[in-house]
């Protein structure tokens, strides 16, 4: 099964829902995207692939007049999102279960001002999703998404290198959106205009790194199932020891992209790359 198959995604993230709140880097990554997205009051914002709602809540906290809709296909991630949202007494968010590839079939809000997607677009057919999202945007509405640079995070690259030694080849899921050029291509192919692309880094805490094996084991359970018990234990041992010895695994290169609906855009200016 591949990361683009809905059953795979739903299963993998239902499984991860209870521990996802401990993922410090996902929170930082989502909150930085929200900063870059520059959300304004009295707007309607969709958080596509909202997961446990980290970006959705960061937006909702900015101003009570912002209406936020979080969309995800993992019911358990959404249960967590709802629970935390009630806990924080935020009343300007609703969560919807559905496939974020086709927001036009899932949401009832018309004229969306902004769609954010943190750490989610890699699971979707990218151009198809971006084209569909542009159809629900208001004139001049924007899309802000994040992506790991190709070969990042380093822990994932290490996992792929070590599994390759056992004969299991795993593609880099970051590659399709892993450079400014690749992001630009998808954005333009979907008929959108690039506003800005930021190249930055996110940092991983010791807790994040401590859960890296478990995260990869869950994500690639089908591939790892071909290994014998001993081969799998040896792979885990190598992964954990190389991860603890490798310099630079505590940060990853990432991209934050902002695109805009071309409709009603009068001034064609070039993109800002930061």
Ligand X SMILES: C[S@@+](CC[C@H](N)C(=O)[O-])C[C@H]1O[C@@H](n2cnc3c(N)ncnc32)[C@H](O)[C@@H]1O
Q: Which stretch binds ligand X (CB under 6 A): 119-127, 131-139, 153-161, 173-181?
A: 119-127
Per CB under 6 A, 9 contacts ligand X? yes
Determine the angle formed by the axes of helices 54-62 and 75-87, rounding to 10 degrees.
30
Per CB under 6 A, 72 contacts ligand X? yes
Binders of ligand X among residues 34 to 63 (CB under 6 A) are 49-51, 54-55
Closer Cβ to ligand X, 80 or 160, answer by number: 80
Q: Among 60, 120, 153, 250, which residue sits at the site for ligand X (rule: CB under 6 A)? A: 120
Q: Which burial class, exposed, middle or buried, applies to 65 when counting CB atoms under 10 A from its CB (0-12, 13-18, 19+)?
A: exposed
Q: How many other CB atoms are found less than 10 A from the CB of residue 150?
A: 16
Q: Taking a C-beta distance cutoff of 8 angstroms, is the pair 100, 120 a contact?
A: yes
Taking the complex as a whole, the smallest distance from the CB of residue 26 to ligand X amounts, in Å, to 4
Closer Cβ to ligand X, 52 or 261, answer by number: 52
Q: Among 93, 119, 249, 258, which residue sits at the site for ligand X (rule: CB under 6 A)? A: 119
Q: Among 37, 58, 77, 103, which residue sits at the site for ligand X (rule: CB under 6 A)? A: 77
Closer Cβ to ligand X, 50 or 134, answer by number: 50
Please tell me the distance from the alpha carbon of residue 41 to that of residue 123, in angstroms, as a whole number: 30
Q: Taking a C-beta distance cutoff of 8 angstroms, is the pair 145, 121 a contact?
A: yes
Q: Taking a C-beta distance cutoff of 8 angstroms, is the pair 162, 237 a contact?
A: no
Q: How far is Cα of residue 47 from the mean position of the Cα atoms in its chain? A: 10
Per CB under 6 A, 13 contacts ligand X? yes
Closer Cβ to ligand X, 56 or 182, answer by number: 56
Per CB under 6 A, 121 contacts ligand X? no
Taking the complex as a whole, the smallest distance from the CB of residue 40 to ligand X amounts, in Å, to 21
Closer Cβ to ligand X, 69 or 193, answer by number: 69
Binders of ligand X among residues 93 to 112 (CB under 6 A) are 99-101
Per CB under 6 A, 74 contacts ligand X? yes
Q: Among 123, 133, 239, 256, which residue sits at the site for ligand X (rule: CB under 6 A)? A: 123
Instruction: Report helix, strand and coil shares of the chain as percent, to nearest 5.
Output: 45, 20, 30
Q: Which stretch binds ligand X (CB under 6 A): 66-74, 86-94, 147-155, 171-179?
A: 66-74
Residue in the structure block whose two tokens are 């906290």: 61
Please tell me the distance from the alpha carbon of residue 255 to that of residue 180, in angstroms, as a whole number: 7
φ/ψ region of 140 (left if φ > 0, alpha if ψ in -120 to 50, else beta) reads left
Q: Among residues 136, 223, 135, which one has the least CA distance to residue 173?
A: 223
Residues in touch with ligand X (CB under 6 A): 6, 9, 13, 26, 30, 49-51, 54-55, 71-74, 77, 99-101, 118-120, 123-124
């Amino acid at each position: 099964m591949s990361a683009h198959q809905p059953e795979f995604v739903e299963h993998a993230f239902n499984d991860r829902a209870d521990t996802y709140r401990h993922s410090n880097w996902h929170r930082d990554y989502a909150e930085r995207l929200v900063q870059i997205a520059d959300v304004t009051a009295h707007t309607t914002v969709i958080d596509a692939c909202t997961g446990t709602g980290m970006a959705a809540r960061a937006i909702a906290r900015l101003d009570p007049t912002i209406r936020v809709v979080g969309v995800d296909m993992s019911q358990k991630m959404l249960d967590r999102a709802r629970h935390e949202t009630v806990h924080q007494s935020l009343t300007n968010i609703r969560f919807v279960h559905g496939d974020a590839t086709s927001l036009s079939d899932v949401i009832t809000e018309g004229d969306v001002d902004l769609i954010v997607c943190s750490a989610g677009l890699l699971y979707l057919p990218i151009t198809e999703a971006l084209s569909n999202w542009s159809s629900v945007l208001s004139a001049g509405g924007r899309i802000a998404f994040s992506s790991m640079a190709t070969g990042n995070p380093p822990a994932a690259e290490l996992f792929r290198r070590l599994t390759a030694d056992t004969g299991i080849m795993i593609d880099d899921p970051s590659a399709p959106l892993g450079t400014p050029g690749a992001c630009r291509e998808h954005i333009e192919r979907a008929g959108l205009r690039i506003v800005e692309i930021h190249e930055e880094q996110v940092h991983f805490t010791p807790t994040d790194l401590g859960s890296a094996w478990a995260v990869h084991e869950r994500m690639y359970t089908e591939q790892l199932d071909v290994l014998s018990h001993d081969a799998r234990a040896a792979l885990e041992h190598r992964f954990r020891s190389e991860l603890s010895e490798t310099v630079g695994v505590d940060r990853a290169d990432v991209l934050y992209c902002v695109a805009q609906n071309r409709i009603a855009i009068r001034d064609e200016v070039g993109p800002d790359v930061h």
